[in-house]
Structure formats: C-alpha cells, structure tokens
Amino acid sequence: MAKIPSQLLKGTLEGALLMIIGRGETYGYALQETLAELGFGQVPEGTIYPLLLKMQRNKQIEAVRHPSASGPDRKYYHLTATGEASIAEFLPSWRQLVAAMARLEGDKGNE
Amino acid sequence: MSRELTKAMQEKMAGIHGIDHVYADTLVRYLLSFPSKDPRAVEETAEAILDDMTDAQQAGQRLPDNFGQDPQTAADEIVAALPNRSGAQWLDYLWPLFNMSLVGATLDAFWRRPPAWHLADLTTFALFLLIWVIGAVVRGGGFNKLKRKTTLRLGVWLILYFAGFVGLAAVVTRLDHQVIGAGALLIFWGVMTAVSLVASLWRRSLRFNWPILWGLMTVTAAVGPQLSTGWWVALLAVNVAWLVWTAITATDN
C-alpha cells in the first residue's frame, strides 16, 4: 500500500484517532496498528503522540493507567463527551470534503 | 537541569535492546531535559512511549521505523504539546537550586576558622555554576544533530557566561578586602535553618534535608573555632556527607 503524504494526513489524523479511541479504550501502539490495518499506512509514533497530548489537553480524551493483557500497567486512552462532540463536528466536514473530491473526480471522468 | 530516568523507565528500557536502546534512551533523556514542563506529564508520556517501543521491538520493528526517522522534530512536537509546570511544581524545582546556590555561595566561608566570607568566594561559586550548566547541557543534548539555532544559542550563552566570569574575577580581586564576619554568617545560616524548616513543614516535597544541612552548617560554624582540629574535621566530614546526600537526592523534581 502506498504511503499517504504526511501533509494530506495531517488534517484528518486527529479525527481518525478520535474515532478509533471512540470504538473502545486503547493505547499508543494499538492505535498505530489499527491505523495501519485501516489503510492509513505506517504512521510514526512520533506523529501520534503530539496529537494524543493535544487531545488530552483539549479534554477530548482521558488517559488512565491499568494492567494490560500482556502484563504490566500501561496508559490507556478513552473518549470523553468533548471528544464525541469533536467527532460529530469533524464528520460533516469530512463528508463534505469526500463528496467534493468525488464530484471533482467524476467531472474529470466525464470530460 | 536534566533529570535522571525513573526506576520504572529503567525497567522498561531494559526490555529494549541493541541500537534501539540508544535511540530510546536518547529520546527519553531529551524529553526529561525540559525543566519548564510538568514533570509528572513528562514521566507518564516517556513511560507510555517506552511501552509502545517495547511492543514495536517485540513485533520486529526497528525504532526509527516505528517512532520516526527524525526523532528530534518528533520530540520537539511532543514537548510543545506537554503541559507547563504549575507554580507549586516550579517551587519544588527551584527550591533545591535556591538552597544549593546559597550553600555554594557561602561554602568557602564555611571552611574558614572562624568563618569569613570574601568577595572572591563568588568566583568559586561562578565556576561551580558553570560546571553545573555544562553538565546539564551535555546530558540534555543527546541527539546526534542539535539544531543549529540551539547550538548557536548555547555557544552565545557560554561565551557571555565566560566573559562575565572573567569580569567578576577581575572586579573581586580588587575588592577582596570586603569581608563578612562570623557573626553575620551565623545569623544568615541560622535564618536559613528556620526558613527551610518552615518550608519543609509547609510543603513536604521541599524535603527535610535542607533544614538539617543548614542546621549542621550553623552548629559547625558556631562551635568550630572552639573544637580541636580532629573534632572540627570530623564535623566537617559529617557536613560534606550530608551535603552530598542532599545534592544527590535533591534533583528529582
């Protein structure tokens, strides 16, 4: 799978992370794996962590430490009501963008 | 001032091997080198990153591929997103520096019998600070490539500091007849004992080591001139041992 340019990812990654965390409590490495499985490519942890910290600061997500399935305590993130509101705000904009791009692509096909 | 790795970080780091260990160690030490950031948030973030790095290595990934090929830029973005220290956390951080500075500034006076403070003692103190600052820079700047702006800024500061140090030495050698006597020094050390005692009772994180250190210095300076050389040296040794212990344990904040 081709690597998505980081500039293109930048605007959508925060929304994508919120949506993944919204599916259920998760942690940093699992987020990275899920992004890869979904087709976002290998997004570096160094890109994910600043966003997680920013989302924590904006109270969109909360972090708690508890034992992991594999053993010792680790930090898990879960969505807050503010995070849910952010997703609700992000999705219409995203759909509008996708629709606009699809129309553009369709117009190109009809030329 | 760069903080040391916590026990939890060291344990997590032990699970990361080879060249990746150097990568993780450099990154975490870099994150710990920013005193303006909330130390608890820095610790939690560093530990979470180490957990993920362990997972990545176990999954067969190299850390530069997992975390990023440009760790300094990523680390700078993480640092920018971390919350700043609160006022209380600043107090925890600066209290040891404040106490250590005053101890350092009066340490030369403390060795004399009877105690006496000369203006030239400031040059010893300035040299002590310079060594401390260089040590902090060396520990904090672990990435192979420090940004040019950072290198320039550090260079300018070191040159300014060295010029200030030379200027200070030149001035104090002319004014070295200025002396503060044993009476004033005893009052100063006594006041510091009381102030640090009240502070440590008010806020536990400010630690009880400081009033003990100031109290020891006050007692040693007060009774030192009457003691035989053997007893005086023994008392000085107790002071030095407590000072070293306090300095080692005082830099966790």
Residue A58 lies in a domain: yes
Are B206 and B199 spatial neighbours (Cβ–Cβ below 8 Å)?
yes
- Work out the minimum CA distance from B119 to partner chain A, whole angstroms: 49
Give the count of domains, chain A. Answer: 1
How far is CA B53 from its chain centroid?
29
Q: Minimal Cα distance from B41: which residue of A?
A: A53
Conformational region of residue B111, where left means phi above 0, alpha means psi within -120 to 50, and beta covers everything else: alpha
Give CA–CA dist B193/B222, Å, rounded. Answer: 14
CATH number, domain containing residue A101: 1.10.10.10
Best mutation target among B10, B45, B73, B79 (most A Cβ atoms within 10 Å) is: B45
ipTM of the complex: 0.85
Q: Which domain holds residue A38?
A: 10-110
Q: Report residue B76 as tokens.
A: 């700078």
Best mutation target among A35, A49, A70 (most B Cβ atoms within 10 Å) is: A49
Residue A41 lies in a domain: yes
Residue A2 lies in a domain: no
Q: What is the reported pLDDT for B226? A: 85
Three-class SS state of A72: strand
pLDDT digits 0-9 by tens, A6-30: 788 888 999 999 999 999 999 999 9
Q: Minimal Cα distance from B43: which residue of A?
A: A75
CA distances from B114 to B109, B184, B186, B224, B225 (A): 9, 12, 11, 7, 6
Residue A74 lies in a domain: yes
Q: What is the pTM of this model?
A: 0.70
Nearest of B5, B71, B40 to residue A56 by alpha carbon: B40
Q: Report residue B191 as tokens.
A: 């006041």
Q: Residues 43..62 of B with a Cβ closer than 8 Å to A: which?
A: 44-45, 47-49, 51-53, 55-56
Contacts 24+ apart (CB under 8 A), B142-145: B142/B25, B142/B26, B142/B29, B142/B30, B143/B26, B143/B30, B143/B71, B143/B72, B143/B75, B145/B72
Are A79 and A61 spatial neighbours (Cβ–Cβ below 8 Å)?
yes
Angle at B190 between CA B189 and CA B195, to 5 degrees: 95
Give CA–CA dist B9/B89, Å, rounded. Answer: 21
Are A77 and A66 spatial neighbours (Cβ–Cβ below 8 Å)?
no
Residue A5 lies in a domain: no
Q: What is the reported pLDDT for A97? A: 93
Give CA–CA dist A89/A14, Å, rounded. Answer: 12
- Work out the minimum CA distance from B33 to partner chain A, whole angstroms: 17
Judged by average pLDDT, the poorest of A54-63, A81-90, B51-60, B115-124 is B115-124
Return phi, psi of residue A78, to 5°: -135, 160
Q: How many C-alpha atoms does B10 have within 13 Å on its Cβ side?
A: 5
Conformational region of residue B86, where left means phi above 0, alpha means psi within -120 to 50, and beta covers everything else: beta
The mean of the pLDDT values for chain A is 90
Conformational region of residue A38, where left means phi above 0, alpha means psi within -120 to 50, and beta covers everything else: alpha
Residue A66 lies in a domain: yes
Q: Residues 114..173 of B with a Cβ closer than 8 Å to A: which?
A: none
Are B28 and B46 spatial neighbours (Cβ–Cβ below 8 Å)?
yes
Q: Does A44 touch chain B (CB under 8 A)?
A: yes
pLDDT at A36 over 60: yes
Residue A38 lies in a domain: yes
Q: Does A41 touch chain B (CB under 8 A)?
A: no
Q: Does A47 touch chain B (CB under 8 A)?
A: yes
- Work out the minimum CA distance from A46 to partner chain B, whole angstroms: 5
- Work out the minimum CA distance from A14 to partner chain B, whole angstroms: 14
B74 contacts in chain A (CB < 8 Å)? 44-47, 49-50
With an 8 Å Cβ cutoff, are B67 and A50 in contact?
no
Are B30 and B82 spatial neighbours (Cβ–Cβ below 8 Å)?
no
A32 contacts in chain B (CB < 8 Å)? 52, 66
Give CA–CA dist A40/A29, Å, rounded. Answer: 14
Q: Does A75 touch chain B (CB under 8 A)?
A: yes
- Work out the minimum CA distance from B142 to partner chain A, whole angstroms: 17
With an 8 Å Cβ cutoff, are B75 and A46 in contact?
yes
Q: What is the mean pLDDT of each run of 10 residues along chain B (253 residues)?
A: 77 89 91 90 93 91 88 90 90 85 82 80 74 62 56 74 73 70 89 92 82 92 86 89 81 54
Are B180 and B109 spatial neighbours (Cβ–Cβ below 8 Å)?
yes
**Least CB-CB distance to A75: which of B48, B74, B83?**
B48
Q: Residues 84..103 of A with a Cβ closer than 8 Å to B: which?
A: none
